[in-house]
Amino acid sequence: MPDRRETLLWLVRAIALSAAPGMALGPLQAEARGLGVAAAAAGAPATIRGADAEGYGRDPDLRHPRVTWPLTLDPEQKTAVTVLADVLLPAEEGSPAASTLGVPDFLDEWISAPYPQQRADREVILAGLATIRSQSPLADLDAASAEAIVAHLSAQAAAGREPQAHFFSRLRNICLVGYYTSMSGVAQLGYVGYQPSATFKGPPPEVLALLGV
């Protein structure tokens, strides 16, 4: 388990990130700073677990895949990620919501991994969640407030505002990957490969007609 000092460091870093130039949620900065540090000082649940975790190594058992690192998100963060993911990728007829396909779990797996890309994403995602938490407790986030947050982030991203643009981009990308590499997501995109066959006949005539070749 990480100690309080480590937790504090992460929170301070998260807040420093959210205080980058161009920050549009400006009025909330001071509040975030106060809330974050106060929460850590009061012994709030650890934000970062498994900071010393090891990866799966250079010779993992490929036929029995296993995630080897502890997860990061506490229940409140998980709640927030779940409602945000379901706004990004909502349920439609014949197409489940992100949370139904395990996207929040995948995001937790991703940002908890001890590799450079994932560690960078962890900072971005946790900083974004810390900023949201500075407005309201994460456990209280419902679909309507998540919708408002995502709409706000999208608009800020379109206006080129950082760090919202980067947070929106990484959150969206991780959710897209989690969703569309799941077996349901793969099927929704129309990927129908992985079928051993004695011959390869190439694309069907109706596809060739659509392609004009």
Please give the residue ranges that form the binding site for other proteins (CB under 8 A): 55-60, 62-63, 65-68, 87-90, 92, 95, 106, 109-110, 113, 115-118, 150, 154-155, 157-158, 168-169, 172-173, 176-183, 185-186, 188-204, 206-208, 210-213
Kindly tell me which of 1 and 62 has the beta carbon lying closer to other proteins.
62
Closest approach of Cβ 50 to other proteins, in Å?
14
Question: What are the start-end ranges of the H helices in the chain?
Answer: 4-18, 29-41, 75-88, 103-112, 116-133, 143-158, 164-180, 183-188, 205-211
14: which DSSP letter? H
Kindly tell me which of 87 and 138 has the beta carbon lying closer to other proteins.
87
Which structure tokens are listed for 26?
């400006």
Closest approach of Cβ 211 to other proteins, in Å?
5
Distances in whole angstroms, Cα of residue 160 to Cα of each of 76, 91, 166, 171: 29, 29, 9, 16
Closest approach of Cβ 44 to other proteins, in Å?
28
Closest approach of Cβ 108 to other proteins, in Å?
12
Kindly tell me which of 36 and 178 has the beta carbon lying closer to other proteins.
178
Query: What number of residues does the chain have?
Result: 213
Kindly tell me which of 42 and 211 has the beta carbon lying closer to other proteins.
211
* CB 39, CB 12: distance < 8 Å: no
